Chains A and B, each alone.
Chain A
Amino acid sequence: MTLRFVAALAAAVLATSGPALAQDAATPEARTEAFAKLPYWPGFWVSEQYLQTTISGSAAPRPPGSPPLERLNGFDAPYNDEGKARQAEAARTRAGRRADGWGYPMMMDAATPFQVMITPEETMIVNAYGETRHIYTDGRPLPPAEDMWPTVWGTSIGHWEGDTLVIETVQVQMPYTYFHGGPVFSEEAKYTERMHLDGDRLVSEFTVEDPVTLTGPWSKTINHVREEGYDRMIQMDFSNDRTGQENGVNTIEPPADEQQAQ
């Protein structure tokens, strides 16, 4: 498949799906020009909270006196009665629970590195667990309500305001279900992110609005920094969570071969 063919194919797709960009990139040359105007955010990004995570699975302690970093776990969100009830239930059931991965929004506040792939039509954010966000920037609106349903990573559209990518994400399953350290927001929550490069940091400003669990908007800023030591993205599935619980204390479950023998 030649580059010319790919470009022509992309232009053909745009002509039917993205009126704003279809006009801007109706030709391969126009698309190349549109591409060149976009930011480039190479690197393997991790939340500053997790920079230099060791083989033990914990990040190095930050210097004494460092200001606390903001988190997306929702522990300090302004919950209403429903939110407080969900938080209480999460606190009761969190210990010993296994996870399926990070999910959204926690994959944006994680030690697992992600890459940001920017094209005129779409920005993709992909992490080492294979978790992928598709953020359509071709001018389309969100799909009709009947065409969406809650998923772990939600449905996203975005647009550029200068060098800032503004993302709107809806229809996210309650994040706590997928990852036990996630927030308890409802499927009605709307997540807005403003993402831009500030020197060596990729800054993401989050605002969550959720009429079901929150009394008002909740905003947090996550700084992503480049982790060293990677020559490529290596994706592996999430297949061996051996976290267990015994007498109220977490433990490591025996390996699968021993469990089968018991």
Chain B
Amino acid sequence: MKFQVACAGAVALALASGPADAHHSFAMFDMSKEVTVSGTVKQFQWTNPHAYIQLMSKDAQGRDVEWSMEMGAPMYLYARGWRPRTLRAGMQITVKLNPLRNGRPGGVVRDVTDAAGKPIGTNR
């Protein structure tokens, strides 16, 4: 598993200044950390109030780990060019996310790229 933890100071500072969270508080995520996870899409849940990417990855011991990666509601994704079939089972992707504070394999998605490093959708 490609697993990088990097302090994203700029992101943390920006979010600390008062983002509006649409459905629940972002306190469950460590916004001071950015994690990069590569793996295979198991499922893309195009659902309210959140979409989720279920991503299969490998941990440091080579064991399978399923990540639950939260996104905004489908309408926000739609406005930025995402569609239910933007991610399909079996796709190889890399996701940058702010991880869950409780250490579980999950977080809130910041950006997604394909196996070649090309952005999938947009977050702008």
- Residues on A lying within 8 angstroms of B by beta carbon are 49-50, 53-62, 64, 99, 110-113, 128-129, 180-181, 227-230, 234, 236-243, 246-247, 249-252, 254-255, 258
Contact B54 A255 (CB under 8 A): yes
**Chain B residues, CB < 8 A from A230:** 75, 78-79
Residue of B nearest to A257 (CB): B43
Within 8 Å of chain A (Cβ to Cβ): is B28?
yes
Query: B67-110: contact bitstring with A at CB < 8 Å (1 yes, 0 no)?
Result: 01011111111111110000000000000000011101010111
Contact B79 A227 (CB under 8 A): yes
Question: Which of A55, A61, A241 contacts B17 (CB under 8 A)?
Answer: A61
Separation in Å of the B84 CB from the closest CB of chain A? 10
Cα A55 to Cα B18 in complex, Å, equals 17
**Chain A residues, CB < 8 A from B23:** 57, 99, 241, 243
**Chain A residues, CB < 8 A from B68:** 242, 252, 254-255
Main secondary structure of the interface of A (DSSP, over half): loop
Contact A111 B77 (CB under 8 A): no
**Chain B residues, CB < 8 A from A249:** 28, 101-102
Contact A57 B71 (CB under 8 A): yes
The verdict on A58 contacting B75 (CB below 8 Å), with A239-B47, A246-B102 known, is no
Within 8 Å of chain A (Cβ to Cβ): is B45?
yes
**Chain A residues, CB < 8 A from B75:** 112-113, 128, 230, 234, 236
Within 8 Å of chain A (Cβ to Cβ): is B50?
yes
Question: Which of A54, A62, A111, A252 contacts B52 (CB under 8 A)?
Answer: A252
Separation in Å of the B59 CB from the closest CB of chain A? 17
Given A53-B20, A99-B23, A251-B102, 4 additional A-B pairs, CB 8 A: A57-B70, A99-B49, A111-B76, A242-B68
Question: Which of B43, B50, B81 contacts A241 (CB under 8 A)?
Answer: B50
Cα A227 to Cα B22 in complex, Å, equals 14
Separation in Å of the B99 CB from the closest CB of chain A? 11
Residue of B nearest to A248 (CB): B102
Residue of B nearest to A68 (CB): B18
Separation in Å of the A174 CB from the closest CB of chain B? 19
Contact A56 B25 (CB under 8 A): no
Question: Which of B15, B26, B77, B100 contacts A252 (CB under 8 A)?
Answer: B100
Cα A249 to Cα B101 in complex, Å, equals 8
The verdict on A229 contacting B24 (CB below 8 Å), with A57-B108, A238-B48, A252-B52 known, is no
Cα A180 to Cα B23 in complex, Å, equals 9
Query: B1-19: contact bitstring with A at CB < 8 Å (1 yes, 0 no)?
Result: 0000000000000110111
User: Quick one: which of B66, B80, B82 has the most chain A CB within 10 A?
Assistant: B80
Contact B100 A251 (CB under 8 A): yes
Within 8 Å of chain A (Cβ to Cβ): is B118?
no
Q: Which 4 A-B pairs have the closest CB atoms?
A: A229-B79, A57-B72, A240-B47, A250-B28
